[in-house]
Structure 1
């Protein structure tokens, strides 16, 4: 069979697997705000070390690394307890070219570049997309300590300050989320989490007051139905009126973490003992649950609402649906998904590509080792369902809007 025929057969089969799951399963309700995704690997390490949350995609030194988790639109879930499925025969992805075409050529409608510096000379770091043409940016007072949030219009290049952010020494604003005309975020001080809000139209931040202190370290928040829904690193999901009020535990989610609202799960993204991430998930609106199939000896399991990736015997990476069906071998990379669909992989030393598992298409991210041979890698932050991948390249930020890839 020719390479083109093999690719076509693979694309058809994988599309049928994913499409079949979509038809069989209910969809998670949409409408919740996109979350902030990206920060540097150093921020990730610090975040995990201090057990705080949320970030922005970035570039950092180290070996070639893939996307760790999924981001994106409202995927379905394979519901009910996992069956001891017999996976279909292993089928690898079609061989990628030594160097794929650049991502901007493969998906021109989804890729933008913006200057790494704002017109006033300050560096602006992308947080998330508010819509197809508006980027939310932060600027820093000192290393990774945000002091302001701005918007950037991809059509005109104009920036607008949304708000200034002031936090005490050693306290960082994180977990930025948007929804219902508001920008909200959290701060963590001495093991206690506080929440803040400002209109996206601009203004001064106001504290979102709570009836009792929130003891614990916030790991993710969303804006939904007039409320802030948040989870804690220590476990537990809660809601709080957007204008302040009573902190209410979500029934049945005492040990859970937010994955993609209304889906919460356990364990969360932080798995220091290599536990399967989001092995069990719960829809807090419908009560539906899903237990991902995990076989003895498998490692690095990272699950989303629909699918999981991990490493099997011999540390061979794989992709499969949560119930164990549709298992496929993956290119060698650190397992992880974005949008339950995308991953990064090294196509050769020093060359990373974004790979679409639905279509088999790939695009060169353009990052290369520096003059001293240090490898730069692109990886997402802790939110598996943001639509934005952003990384710095030659004094610009490359923005990839995963929601625009069809």
Structure 2
């Protein structure tokens, strides 16, 4: 699965992607929360492998281990201590920049939700998490090559074994075909595919019983109908919304696509819900608030009550997350139970994960040293998951001692229940001194002379196991 049409889960990092190094390895949403101390580059690289690559895929895993190997004590973000070997931090630099919340390791907050799985199948194909099927079952794709999904598998975290659910063939005679978003329904699992490297306006849909079997092509679409952004599946139909807005359906038995009257400007969220903001596509006004949820089964509309000053409000069936000023806010769709989340403002997913949880990246900066360089807590998590039901905040992802790291989310069409990372993968900064003449410069500038220090970041290690957090394993009342 590629990230070319990914669910842009990192709006805050998009602006930095152009400055980030080429993605290394096969990690879906890698973020570097490090502002390079020596080069002063504030690049946050997003390495995903599902859609854009660096684009990186709309949510595939990336390396992270977050807490020290002996850990267990959790991290108080407000009072994170700097490395004692570093110069004393200037408290004024950290003031107002760190969350006034206590972040404990996710393995302590929700121990039943955390597991490790192999990074590869027995035949060497790489696994990419999609979403949870239950508290102990993970849906995965196995890739024969980068982003080339070839089959669906289910990994049982209790039994610690995988089962092949179905092969994912491409349509005969179609070159450059890539599987895109996979969606889990009550009875079936569906996905769509396209040929992203040519200019064809074409897409197709496939379905397989949830219990497994032989996948079959439901049908093909062309033109504007092929601008698929998300899909849904029921016992009788595959549904999809297009980037310009509007929802279509096609019988699972095959047939012509049908436009659903009354869905102008709507976009699928997770069946049967649609909303009135695009799913993170280019050109969408990120500050625009969602105003409603529409139930495609019942025709019922739920009005979202956004507070004055809110921006970027996005809602699932129950909970909404957005921003107000420099802080994030959480509320129910009717505006009740509203609260602020101090210090948590950089959302990595704008719609709630698993319909309930918020996902934020997290800076580990605790201040600056005497030379003005940022000091980071290497034990701080890369990101946090916030549960509005209990108010608990769990740290996820592994931060390298140098401050970098990566983390990703599952690649399901609907908002996923999975967050994952490779705890053994690390980002390493390597520097060397070169003649400035070897460094690209504008032809309008005078020819440079002398020496300069050039640094680059590469990813090393990993590739054996993925740490997976399955939010379906968090009890609904916990």
Q: TM over 0.5, yes or no?
A: yes
Q: 2:356 aligns with which of 336, 340, 343?
A: 340
Q: CA deviation at 1:323?
A: 3.4
CA 1:218–1:211: 2 relative to 1, 3 Å? closer
CA 1:112–1:49: 2 relative to 1, 3 Å? closer
**Which of structures 1 and 2 has the bigger CA Rg?**
2
Q: Distance in 1 between matches of 2:133 and 2:291?
A: 30
Whether 1:286 aligns to 2:298 is yes
Asked if structure 1 preserves the Cα contact closer than 8 Å seen for 2:194 and 2:202, the reply is yes
CA 1:310–1:199: 2 relative to 1, 3 Å? closer
Number of residue equivalences: 332
SS at match of 2:293: strand
Q: Distance in 2 between matches of 1:205 and 1:347?
A: 43
Name stretches of at least 5 consecutive residues in structure 2 with no aligned partner.
Answer: 1-26, 30-45, 65-98, 366-379, 425-463
CA 1:58–1:49: 2 relative to 1, 3 Å? closer
Q: 2:319 aligns with which of 299, 307, 312?
A: 307
Q: Distance in 2 between matches of 1:188 and 1:252?
A: 27
Q: Distance in 1 between matches of 2:313 and 2:340?
A: 14
TM-score normalised to the size of structure 2? Answer: 0.60
Q: 1:399 aligns with which of 468, 471, 474?
A: 468
CA 1:46–1:120: 2 relative to 1, 3 Å? closer
Matches within 5 A, 1:3-402: 39-40=28-29, 41-43=46-48, 46=51, 55-59=58-62, 95-97=100-102, 100=104, 102-167=105-170, 168-179=174-185, 181-189=187-195, 190-209=200-219, 215-270=225-280, 272=283, 273-276=285-288, 278-294=290-306, 298-313=310-325, 315-330=326-341, 331-335=343-347, 336=350, 337-338=352-353, 339-344=355-360, 346=362, 348-349=364-365, 350-351=380-381, 352-369=383-400, 372-378=402-408, 383=413, 385-394=415-424, 395-402=464-471
Instruction: Show the counterpart of 2:441.
Output: none
Asked if structure 1 preserves the Cα contact closer than 8 Å seen for 2:47 and 2:54, the reply is no
Higher relative contact order (CA 8 A, sep 6+): 1
TM-score normalised to the size of structure 1? Answer: 0.70
Instruction: Show the counterpart of 1:12.
Output: none
Asked if structure 2 preserves the Cα contact closer than 8 Å seen for 1:308 and 1:319, the reply is yes
Q: CA deviation at 1:199?
A: 3.7
Name stretches of at least 5 consecutive residues in structure 1 with no aligned partner.
Answer: 1-37, 62-93
- Which region of structure 1 is more displaced relative to structure 2, 277-286 or 261-270? 277-286
What is the root-mean-square deviation of aligned Cα atoms in Å? 3.5
Q: CA deviation at 1:180?
A: 5.1
Tell me which stretches of 4 or more aligned residues in structure 1 moved more than 6 Å.
Answer: 211-214
Asked if structure 1 preserves the Cα contact closer than 8 Å seen for 2:117 and 2:467, the reply is yes
Q: CA deviation at 1:372?
A: 4.8
